[in-house]
Chains A and B, each alone.
Chain A
């Protein structure tokens, strides 16, 4: 099989190279189109070898003499075996020379790369898709940790988190619990993806089509058939070698089936709908607020929890934090800021969050991108594919067209509960929302709440106004501390005056380890917007304005072999009105 652009596909040369009986000589095939190609290849070997006729397409005496010279010098053919024709060894070696002389493949233009759903690429039971195989090639190369910093897995892991802070402005830069969470991770993924693509383009193990189209896949876990870790990330081996996408430091049941408490048979761990639902983030607006999280987190300075008002947005809580802790568990990498990006699934998880931001931007958040200079001009430092330091700004990453990629699917998730105006494709930009005043407490638990056993309850009197206006209702769960991550993720449920409890949100506690360090800036706090829920319950006559009742309970199953649950304490649970 000939591989050079010059020889590949030429029937005569292919047959000769395959040790066929045909030859090119002064008497056989002397004017075949293959002659001109052989002459061009000879000129690549020695530009002065056809001084009179060049590559004229005719196998004359000059070409015959050049072939003899080539066989003598390049193929080391003994004089007694020399013939002036073109045979298999000559074709194969000239093909290699022509291939080597070809310019290196250009990295594809950064236009139109499409990030695809990992479960669409490789459903359970299917062979590893070339896009995922190429990702494995890039991760394997990075995990050698042998190149310059931007070509090492350690660097990309440390960009997210590193303790102590090296102070170089490149590492330990992750943004959480604030409005920079989404743009910073978009920049982070874009830089990482470009470096992976550069490695993939250089790799002989990846086919040209994949090289031309490769983009980071995403893991859309908010469907019943995608709630387990994607198969390609669970297998310890790939093509007989260690699988670079496999990470042993994950929670029980993530990589292989385990027995869960109270269940009849072992199985893989599965995300539950409470951990992936779009209900929390989809209807949240505006993008951010100074004193409450809105869609993307409170407006703060650099880094997580750098201000008393630092609270994550609903997308950062669920599914972001939930999936981190689901995969990482109590001891795995994904649960730790400093190690999370060291698990190859991290990048697919954040690609999905980046996609969900696009879903929001195209529906509920249409026209609601932040525009102030504190956001637009805020820059962060990264290394690009050539190792150069770059400083993209938040404003420069708002529009995906500027970054050269898109997502295969940005339709509204079924769990958003949309339908009606949000699905209207002609829905215009939303009017700017007025800047809100800080929400005020109208009631709070007067002592800490301990999460132990199967459930906890909290109940307190409230001072909500008797006549309803257009208030916003928020539930604030503040100052959460624990010895360690609990085995299950706890949910907060509002207890109406009648009927079943209704989910307010979950407490994934991603960042708990960091919050327990001696130099931690904060304990964990979450806020949940329950305005729609209160309006609905009020209309149904099931909302008590004078009393707040909530139940807290685990939302997912716990493996039988899990460690005993640690003590988790919530400093305050409060109802706020804005």
Chain B
């Protein structure tokens, strides 16, 4: 696949996988702004959100894909380790945090973009490493679906930080499997 194809896949994959947990924020922005400019604010929120995600996408799309089994093994183990960091725990707890939305005018435009970027940054801290592994694996559809379910559950379930160990173990298993393929496959 060419660079632009990988980038396009990234841009489609990210919002699709993040949709369930982003909808409440889209609604918050929509109901927080003047009636006549709801679509405009939502569009600006999405723009800020996708632009933020585009930055790591630009870098990852430059990597030859799919990556080798050893690279996958290392990245999966790194994603597992990331699950157990305090940074990830804090990000999960802050996942539902809202930001002030201005009512009208340029301030409303700026606040919608800023909200989208702040929310994207939080999502990247939570899901960025997992999304990177998925990209390096060549984004196989079954893995995309499985990871989307895990990430949505992690954000939406009660006390999400409690499920981190389980997710980390799953990454460990995936990393060891990839390492096995690298060594013996």
Contact = CB atoms under 8 A, between A and B. Distances in A.
Contact of A463 (B27, B34, B156): B34
B158 A308 contact: no
B18 to A, nearest CB: 15
A310 B98 CA distance: 10
B89 A574 contact: no
Interface residues of B, number: 29
A479 B32 CA distance: 13
Contacts of B31: 291, 438-441
Interface size class of A (residues with CB under 8 A): 35 or more
B98 A302 contact: no
B118 interface: no
Given A438-B31, A441-B31, A521 B93 contact: yes
Contacts of B93: 519-521
Given A521-B97, A522-B96, A574-B103, A441 B25 contact: no
Given A167-B162, A446-B105, A520 B94 contact: yes
A444 B103 contact: yes
Given A308-B25, A438-B27, A441-B33, A479 B99 contact: yes
A308 B103 contact: no
Contact of B96 (A447, A521, A574): A521
Nearest to B38: A440
Given A302-B159, A438-B31, A440-B35, A446 B107 contact: yes
A280 interface: no
Nearest to B162: A167
Contacts of A305: 96
B100 interface: yes
B100 A571 contact: yes
A463 B54 CA distance: 37
B120 to A, nearest CB: 15
A53 B33 CA distance: 96
Interface string A74-94: 000000000000000000000
A313 to B, nearest CB: 19
Interface string A560-574: 000000000001101
Nearest to A446: B107
B94 A521 contact: yes
A367 interface: no
A550 interface: no
A206 interface: no
Interface in B79-115: 89-90, 93-94, 96-105, 107
A518 interface: yes
A94 B100 CA distance: 78
Contacts of B104: 446
Contacts of A460: 103
B24 interface: yes
A553 interface: no
Contacts of B90: 518-519
Nearest to A572: B100
B3 interface: no
A522 B159 contact: no
A448 B100 CA distance: 9
Contacts of A307: 24, 96
Interface in B106-141: 107
A441 B159 contact: no
A378 to B, nearest CB: 10
A447 B25 CA distance: 21
Contacts of B107: 446-447
A507 B161 CA distance: 30
A443 B24 contact: no
Contacts of A165: 159, 161
A301 B35 contact: no
B94 A441 contact: no
A348 B70 CA distance: 62
Interface in B24-42: 24-25, 27-28, 31-35
Contacts of B25: 308
Residue among B25, B35, B103, B161 with max Cβ neighbours from chain A (10 Å):
B103
Contact of A308 (B96, B102, B161): B96
Interface string A298-321: 000111011111100000000000
A550 B25 CA distance: 28
A227 B28 CA distance: 40
B158 A301 contact: yes
A301 B93 CA distance: 13
B101 to A, nearest CB: 7
Contacts of B161: 165
A307 B24 CA distance: 8
A478 interface: yes
B106 to A, nearest CB: 10
Nearest to B101: A572
Contacts of B101: 572
B161 to A, nearest CB: 8
A519 B94 contact: yes
B125 to A, nearest CB: 12
Nearest to A300: B96
Interface in A39-82: none
Residue among A308, A442, A446 with max Cβ neighbours from chain B (10 Å):
A308
Interface string A440-475: 111110111000000000001001000000000000
Interface string A131-175: 000000000000000000000000000000000010100000000
A522 B97 contact: yes
A478 B25 CA distance: 15
Contact of A446 (B32, B96, B103): B103
Nearest to A478: B100
A272 to B, nearest CB: 30
A308 B89 contact: no
B28 A308 contact: yes
Given A167-B162, A301-B158, A302-B158, A479 B33 contact: no
B102 A444 contact: yes
Contacts of B34: 441, 463
Interface in B137-185: 156, 158-159, 161-162
Nearest to B156: A301
Contacts of B162: 167
17 contacts: A165-B161, A302-B159, A305-B96, A306-B96, A307-B96, A308-B27, A308-B96, A440-B35, A441-B31, A446-B103, A447-B107, A463-B34, A478-B100, A479-B100, A520-B94, A571-B100, A574-B103
Given A308-B96, A446-B105, A519-B94, 10 more contacts: A165-B161, A302-B158, A302-B159, A307-B96, A308-B98, A310-B96, A440-B31, A519-B90, A520-B93, A520-B97
Interface of A: 165, 167, 291, 301-303, 305-310, 438-444, 446-448, 460, 463, 478-479, 518-523, 571-572, 574
Pairs A-B, 4 closest by C-beta atoms: A444-B103, A571-B100, A519-B90, A302-B158
